[in-house]
Amino acid sequence: MDLLENIDTNNLPKHLAIIMDGNGRWAKQQGLLRAFGHESGTKSVKTIIKTCAKLGIDNLTLYAFSTENWNRPKLEVDTLMKILIKSLKKELPTLLESNIKLNTIGNIEKLPQSAQKELLEVIDKTKNNDHMTLTLALSYGSREEIVNAVKNICNKVKNNTISIDSIDDSIINEHLYTQNLPDVDLLIRTSGEHRISNFLLWQIAYAELYFTDVLWPDFKEQDLYEAIISYQKRERRFGKTSEQIK
């Protein structure tokens, strides 16, 4: 049975975020090196991007590389960077054909120059696309993002650009990497782990969380449909009562 039939296209998450976890374990189960897991994971990335675009989801954010991932063995980090460059080159035609805009969040300056160059080129070539915004979280850590936002706001207070009393949610939002994105509606994490792992901590304040045991390289359209169906069955109250929502 195709679960697509059970999805209400009028009740889709406006912003879907995914922690793509389990590439290494998938490779280990196959008796392969971790690099093969990361390579295979790119196939799921392509599948999910195309599926989200087909459904009509406005914003998709993928946790591709965290600030903590720099602590992994150098060979694995180098491999991930090569996969990133290769994928950007390979998928540009698809992004253009599907009218998808590429965006990025994180400390991009830490990426190798070759990766930065490819990333910025694809961002520039897709900047006018408006069907869906695909955001890659690269060298991203939410705590670092919030610390930077606080520092920037403090400097503006110090320089009398803004007053302390004017600081509210919207001011903080304006100083985050995601200033042009709405809050996350649905956060998916694959591989059976039940952690947020320093991902979009501010932006998921009222997100629905969905955890699945499926490893990322095995995560396909039907798995995404299951997550969205689960999301659509939930009552999102945002602090109100059920009676108030109804």
Q: Catalytic residue positions?
A: 21, 69
- CA-nearest of 119, 88, 93 to 104 is 119
Q: 147: alpha, beta or left, given left = phi > 0 and alpha = psi -120 to 50?
A: alpha
- The answer to whether residues 76 and 34 touch, using CB atoms and an 8 Å cutoff, is yes
Question: Any idea of the CA torsion for 242, 187, 153, 166, to the nearest 10 degrees?
Answer: -10
212: closest CA among 198, 233, 226?
A: 226
* The length of the chain, given as a count of residues: 246
For residue 245, is it left (φ>0), alpha (ψ between -120 and 50) or beta? Answer: alpha
Residue 75, C-beta contacts closer than 8 angstroms, at least 6 positions apart: none
Asked if 185 contacts 16 with a C-beta cutoff of 8 angstroms, the reply is yes
CA–CA dist 67, 148 (Å, integer): 14
Nearest Cα to Cα of residue 15 among 240, 245, 231: 231
